[in-house]
Amino acid sequence: MMRISLHNLSKYFGDVKAVDELTLQIQEGEFVALLGPSGCGKTTTLLTIAGFYRPTKGEVRFSDRVVNDLPPRERNIGMVFQSYALYPHMRVFDNITFPLKIKKVPKKHWGTKATEVAKLLEIADLMDRVPGQLSGGQQQRVALARSLVKEPDLLLLDEPLSNLDAKLRITMRAELKRLQKDLGITTIFVTHDQVEAMTMADRIALLEGGRLQQVGSPEELYDLPATLFVAGFIGTPPMNFVEVSLEEVEGRLFVITEHFRFPLLNGIAQKVHRMATSREVVLGIRPEDIKIGQGKIEAEVYVVEPLGRDTLVTLRIGAVGFKVLAPPRFRVAIGERVQLAFSMERIQLFDKTTERSLLL
């Protein structure tokens, strides 16, 4: 069990800043997701933690020890790669026991250790096969078994679910989460899929362009995104954004656009007063926080998409499109005019230039 801390970690490839000044603490037994679009530096961060890359600047610490110069083999970590990277010339048993063989664990212990992890991952009956004879899901279990057999202090997962089909992905999501909690191994996983990160991780570190955007629990990132990028990246369908102006009328702060105006709640207004540097801001509101068929904001129905559990309605207010989640049996015709109400306490406001939240 290990605590990991990244301190001002930077990794440059020539002029490209793959990871830039990343500071992050990971507690013992925590399950942390490095989330971001491709090219955001999440895999570089993972490979730096694993020891394949040497940080250009900054430190990687395992518990209190700086491990910048420690080769991967001395870090006692387990890692599962996106491609699983099983050894194609070895049987499953030999794949799983390979770390023991290299570590010179006496041969008589191999059987029990391998059986133990194989049972845990339900692959005990595959021991004599070679990787080419396994399905993607089975290969992944073997890769997990291989990474767990040496009882690592830290488990790294690189896009662990992205090579599985959609159904299996949902099953494995839950299984991985349960496994991690049962074993209590500090785990870092990399993903570009925000749903994966939201469902599995204790905390999410969202990266963009090599920089940390926000770190926090899934709820924190969802309810109070620190930047415009986080707000747009987390959640499907994504948050709606509209450029608005703020104006003070008779002691109340109003949000004003060409098409609608409404006063902000006092709590939000106070925060905005403290933070705002300009009157021009970006308002964000999630699709489920808009109520259709009540309120004073007028909109025109652009398209209706039934999703089964609810109905996704795209609306137009002037030239701005809004996505709204309506009840499942909600029926409305294209071109019809409807009334909208925003849930006032769920409104997000961002600075237009810094793109940072005004509510933090």
Partner 1 sequence: MWARARQWWNKVASYLVLGAVAAPFLTMYVSFFLRAFGKRMYLGVVPKEFGFANFQFLWRPIAWGLEQTTVWTALGNTVFFAVTSALAVTIICMLAGYALSRIEFRGKNFFLVLQLFLHAVPGQILLIAIFFLLFYIKLLHKIPGVALARASLEIPLGIWMAKGFFDGIPWDVERSAMIDGCTRFQVWYRVFLPLVKPGIAAVFIWGFLFAWHDFIYVYTLLPGTIKLMSTLIQSLLATEVIDYGYLAALSLIYMIPPLLLFVFLQRALLRVPVFGGKGV
For helices 107-120 and 92-102, give the axis angle rounded to 10 degrees: 130
Report, in Å, the least distance between residue 130 CB and partner 1. Answer: 9
Count of C-beta atoms within a 10 Å radius of residue 252: 12
Taking CB under 8 A as the criterion, the residue among 14, 88, 106, 251 binding partner 1 is 88
Taking CB under 8 A as the criterion, the residue among 64, 65, 71, 250 binding partner 1 is 71
Q: Of the two residues 139 and 213, which places its CB atom closer to partner 1 in the complex?
A: 139
* 77 near partner 1 (CB under 8 A): yes
* 53 near partner 1 (CB under 8 A): no
Site map 140..179 versus partner 1, x via CB under 8 A: x--x--xx--x------------x----------------
Taking CB under 8 A as the criterion, the residue among 41, 55, 58, 78 binding partner 1 is 78
Q: Which residues pair with 61 in a beta bridge?
A: 5, 66
Q: Which residues pair with 237 in a beta bridge?
A: none
* Part of the chain binding partner 1 (CB under 8 A), chosen from 13-21, 132-140, 267-275, 348-356: 132-140
| Parallel/antiparallel/unpaired status of strands 57-62 and 31-35 | unpaired
* 99 near partner 1 (CB under 8 A): yes
Site map 100..119 versus partner 1, x via CB under 8 A: --xx----------------
H or E stretch covering 116: helix 107-120
Report, in Å, the least distance between residue 75 CB and partner 1. Answer: 8
Residue 76's contacts (CB-CB under 8 Å, 6 or more residues apart) are 150, 152, 153, 154
CA dist 60 and 155 (Å) reads 15
Is residue 102 helix, strand or coil?
helix
For helices 136-148 and 92-102, give the axis angle rounded to 10 degrees: 20
Is residue 58 helix, strand or coil?
strand
User: Footprint of partner 1 on this chain (CB under 8 A)?
Assistant: 47, 50, 52, 71-73, 77-79, 81-89, 98-99, 102-103, 131-132, 135-136, 139-140, 143, 146-147, 150, 163
